[in-house]
Chain A
């Protein structure tokens, strides 16, 4: 009986406390943001959409390799000696045409792993979040600004150059062969050497003329390798990189801020 009474008392007491709280909330200010009309002020680092400033991209593919879901697809064409692609705003020399730079935002997991390794800070997260589409393929954002004609042109030039180079190399090889033959003819005494040269002549030549061989290996493999070479070089140069790192990051932050300010100014002017 006593328990029943105290239970009843407790029930009413707690119910009225609860009602008091909800009643107070009835008149407190709502936290709702009336979205399309009002918008939250987003913090600086929001990750909403990737943007690539293609003018600054050197086609190093570091971003592509950093992505855990493989949603960045980059194609590059090596530029020929007669064209100068200029420099990026960060002072990096551009050596590759970037004929394809597709980011599939439908696959992207917004982890921002691609943003950090970029040497020229041209891949960034921007404050744009209303880009839903009806077709999933529309979420593949192409960033390359090359026209098909330009791509063809670049490919053709590269082929021509490669042909020229390989011709040169063949000539060089021939010359070498001749030299070897001459040597062989000159000294009959070392028995196995001439045979070796005759059978594996081409591979040895390829190995000795390192850069030439790589270029002859076709554009895909060539660019891939040059990319790796670059990253490895950066990785091995740990000592000075460490010293410069803080400065570099500060610089990067500043650049990002500047870019954001620019964008905002643009938005405002619109």
Chain B
């Protein structure tokens, strides 16, 4: 990809810039689409239609219109807020989730940076998100925001553990932290000749690992049933209570970017990343990008579907679930996968 860009662009910073802007483009376009999709999914699940007017066909331009509206809005900072932190928080939040995309192999021809500790890097950098949320909650000088921030701190710290342990169990199988290599390992049909050699088909424990990972990633992305930091029926808006306009929009964008990020990580680790499900049919760098995003979107859709089905957990139950169920289970699973690896 970089060579391809260099072939028609002057070398140096321009190429690097264009190269690094690609995930941002993907995130933005995806966010526009995903917010629209969320509304549509919500609408149709609830026997409604969702947006129908803006842009003609099924209100496709609704998010765009909302974005324009948000940009025009007054940037309100509460008088008693900590102005600097308050203004910084949304940027840090978005930066954290954007930075994580650098280690995602979007296709066989494109990965932001071929770092060897890819997964580790992603896990580390997404923790920044909780820092920014605590910043937002604290700086707002609002008791509801503070409660939201407190919940987030607790939630993120706890859920990082099962996420990392399940990722670790995948790493045992792959033997590498580089997501590109992880994906390459899953190319071709291995099992029984027709199933793609995706890691989820590797052993029954992998399915459990995936379920654990998915639950933990829901919590990481603050989605229902784990959307406690912003639970609007309890904490008004949680850490977002005092935000409005584009700053709020950035939090929203971060939420959706996070969803995509975790879905893509899930797709890479368990569903063969950019590999085509049909072996070498529909394969190649461009199809790869398609498959990668498609797999990500399917997981995102499931997240949405869950959101419009389930109620929300309480904060102590959330901890309960994490420490009493997910963490022990993921450790047991880790051992089992290791054993499986040793035996077969």
Contact = CB atoms under 8 A, between A and B. Distances in A.
* A–B direct touch in complex (beta carbons closer than 8 A): yes
Interface of A: 4, 8, 15, 18-19, 21-23, 25-32, 34
B46 interface: yes
A22 to B, nearest CB: 5
A30 B309 contact: no
Interface string B300-313: 00000110111000
A4 B325 contact: yes
Interface in B154-174: none
B52 to A, nearest CB: 6
Contacts of B52: 32, 34
Interface size class of B (residues with CB under 8 A): 10 to 19
Interface string B37-69: 000010111111100100000000000000000
Contacts of A8: 325
29 contacts: A4-B324, A4-B325, A8-B325, A15-B309, A15-B310, A18-B309, A18-B310, A19-B305, A22-B45, A22-B308, A22-B309, A23-B45, A25-B44, A25-B45, A25-B47, A26-B44, A26-B45, A29-B47, A30-B43, A30-B44, A30-B47, A30-B48, A30-B49, A31-B47, A32-B43, A32-B48, A32-B52, A34-B49, A34-B52
A22 B48 contact: no
B208 to A, nearest CB: 12
Contacts of B44: 25-27, 30
A8 B208 CA distance: 13
Given A4-B325, A15-B310, A22 B305 contact: yes
A8 B326 CA distance: 11
B155 to A, nearest CB: 18
Most chain A CB within a 10 A radius of its CB, from B44, B49, B309, B310: B309
Interface of B: 41, 43-49, 52, 305-306, 308-310, 324-325
Contacts of A30: 43-44, 47-49
Contacts of A34: 49, 52
A23 B304 CA distance: 11
A23 B309 CA distance: 9
Given A4-B325, A8-B325, A19-B305, A25 B46 contact: yes
A85 B308 CA distance: 66
B49 A23 contact: no
Contacts of B310: 15, 18
Contacts of B324: 4
Most chain B CB within a 10 A radius of its CB, from A18, A22, A27, A32: A22
Contacts of A22: 45, 305, 308-309
A152 to B, nearest CB: 52
Most chain B CB within a 10 A radius of its CB, from A19, A29, A31: A19
B227 to A, nearest CB: 16
Contact of A19 (B43, B47, B49, B309): B309
A31 B306 CA distance: 22
B4 to A, nearest CB: 40
A26 B309 contact: no
B306 to A, nearest CB: 7
